[in-house]
Structure 1
Amino acid sequence: MSEEFSPTLVIINLPVKDLEAATAWYTKVLGHGPSGEPSPTDVEFDLREGVSLLLTTGDEEAEAAGAKVLFGVEDLDAEKKRLASVNVECGERQEIPDALAWFDFKSPEDHRLSLVQMLG
């Protein structure tokens, strides 16, 4: 029996057409402003410890899918091996040096998913 999957964080990557308007609306709805702006095309809101909403205008894959769910893990390479052992096909590892590494995969219903490891 394989080990239980236990993500360290969850990021909901939600594509929007107007980042400024969406940021203002989510600020009202959530009752607090963004926790950060990781890039010019992204605004992040902390929802609770380890759970974030990332509004984005820069992720074409998320836009095509409607959303993309990212799960943070402690050891990306170990998780990729674990997924391969249960016949889940994963994309290539990608990395932003000293920031994060990730790989993408799809559910049987074609949902876009990623595993992400914070680096440094």
Structure 2
Amino acid sequence: MADGLKPALVIINLPVRDLRAATAWYTRVLGHGPSGEPSPTDVEFDLRDGVSLLLTTGDEGAERAGAKVLLGVGDLDAERSRLADAGIGTGERQEIEGALAWSDFESPEGHLLGLVQQLER
């Protein structure tokens, strides 16, 4: 059996109505500004090597699709606290014992995001 797809680059293309406001909000959530503006309708945030979040007002296909952006963190409670300090509320902490803990929240435009922490077994 051949190896499956192993992309060298992953881009989460997230449609927004107000690029300036969304850029400011995601800057607060991520704790850093964008890495670039590839076009007048796009702002890109590097999440880690080879993984980017692209806010866009110019992609009709992305606009029609639904998605939830999950952001893996090392310490869920610390990230929830950091976001609260930045004026961003997150949902209740939920947990699958010995596996995962997470907290879902929404962007001002209604995108569903989640912070997720892998727990030690």
Normalised TM-score (structure 1): 0.54
Residue 27 of structure 1: CA displacement?
0.4
How many equivalent residue pairs?
67
In 1, Cα distance between equivalents of 2:56 and 2:8 = 22
Normalised TM-score (structure 2): 0.53
Residue 65 of structure 1: CA displacement?
1.1
Whichever residue aligns with residue 60 of structure 1, its letter is: E
In 2, Cα distance between equivalents of 1:11 and 1:37 = 14
In 2, Cα distance between equivalents of 1:44 and 1:66 = 19
- Structure 2: runs of 5 or more not aligned: 68-121
Superposition RMSD on alpha carbons, in Å? 1.0
- Structure 1: runs of 5 or more not aligned: 68-120
Residue 2 of structure 1: CA displacement?
1.8
Tell me which residue corresponds to 2:38: 38
In 2, Cα distance between equivalents of 1:4 and 1:58 = 31
What does residue range 90-101 of structure 1 map to in structure 2 within 5 Å?
none
User: CA offsets per residue over residues 22-73 of structure 1, 9 Å max, x none?
Assistant: 0000001100000000000000000000000000000001001135xxxxxx
Percent identical among aligned pairs is: 82
Look up the SS of the partner of 1:6 in the other structure: coil
In 2, Cα distance between equivalents of 1:34 and 1:63 = 21
